[in-house]
Homo-oligomer: A and B are copies of this chain.
Amino acid sequence: MGLGWINFAMHKMRPKPARHLAFFYARTGFLHNIKPIERQTLHLKIVDRLREMIEHGDIAPGAKLIEKDLCESFAVSRTPMREAIRALAAEGLVVLTPNRGACVATITEVQILESFLVIGALEGLAGELAAPRITEAQLDDIRGMHISMLERHAANDLDGYYIYNRQIHDAIFEIADNELLKEMRRIVFNRTIRLRFIARIADDEWQVAIKEHEEMIVALEARDGPQLGAILRRHLESKRVQIARWLQRQPSA
């Protein structure tokens, strides 16, 4: 689709596994425990299922998507399967190479850090737009999520913390009320989603994140758009640096 755009890499050979991350290359093969798919608009359902599997890691990054194998797994013909794969390519989850088929997209360290820069810009805009238009009710909701998030932090429950953290950011985008902005964020998120399953935050970084969230609440209460935008940009920059450090700590291939 590009992201926009259909992502046809023109590399001569099969895409290599990503350099810095321990992702591996594999053939699809027959996938077991696949529920059968109903008739009509199959491709839509296939897209959903494949996306879920890719995001969840059931199909490894870099794995080649053999149409025939996938068709047998899902018990559908190649026509809807091809359409589904191309739709995923448009989302950036899959990379197509003409006459050489599709691979699950891999992500490099550079791409991850690029993503956080872009997300920062998008979140900053969301903050600018959201702060002036937030209602008291919406503010109360966010305060509630914030308190729940603090509880999860106190309980040292990182996964629970992430859930409420995500809810707060989602809420800000909702309040910003810009469909395109939400869509752009979704696209960028898709690229880094697998990372969220594995990257762990360090304790001191966690403290910083909490502090930035406190500031966000203040800016929202003040309906200060530029301020909230600035905080969010800084917040995402912190995350980016965190991720960069985390990546450095990884043994990696």
Let me know if A41 is at the binding interface, CB within 8 A: yes
* A:145-193 near B, CB below 8 Å: 178-181, 183-184, 186-188, 190-191
* A:78-131 near B, CB below 8 Å: 79, 82-83, 86-87, 89-92, 98-99, 111, 114-115, 117-118, 120-122, 124-125, 129
Q: Nearest residue in B to A119 (C-beta to C-beta)?
A: B180
The 10 A-B pairs at the shortest CB distance, nearest first, are namely A90-B90, A4-B187, A121-B125, A4-B91, A6-B87, A2-B183, A121-B121, A114-B180, A1-B91, A41-B98
A-B contact pairs, 18 of them (CB 8 A): A1-B3, A1-B91, A1-B183, A3-B4, A3-B90, A3-B183, A3-B187, A4-B90, A5-B183, A8-B44, A41-B98, A41-B99, A82-B83, A90-B91, A117-B178, A118-B184, A180-B191, A184-B184
Give the complex CA separation of A205 and B132 in angstroms.
27
Interface magnitude class on chain A: 35 or more
Let me know if A76 is at the binding interface, CB within 8 A: no
Copies in the complex: 2
Give the complex CA separation of A180 and B118 in angstroms.
7
* A:174-220 near B, CB below 8 Å: 178-181, 183-184, 186-188, 190-191
Given contacts A4-B90, A184-B187, A187-B187, 13 further A-B contacts (CB under 8 A): A2-B91, A3-B184, A4-B91, A4-B187, A8-B44, A83-B83, A83-B86, A87-B90, A114-B181, A117-B178, A118-B181, A121-B121, A121-B125
Given contacts A79-B79, A111-B179, are A5 and B90 in contact (CB under 8 A)?
A: yes
Residues of B within 8 A of A87 (CB): 1, 6, 86, 90
Given contacts A1-B90, A8-B44, are A188 and B179 in contact (CB under 8 A)?
A: no
Give the complex CA separation of A47 and B122 in angstroms.
29
Residues of B within 8 A of A47 (CB): 6
Q: Is the CB of B125 within 8 A of A118?
A: yes
Q: Nearest residue in B to A124 (C-beta to C-beta)?
A: B121
* A:26-67 near B, CB below 8 Å: 40-41, 44, 47
Q: Is the CB of A180 within 8 A of B188?
A: yes
Q: Nearest residue in B to A178 (C-beta to C-beta)?
A: B114
Instruction: Among B41, B82, B129, B190, point to the contact of A4 (Cβ < 8 A).
Output: B190
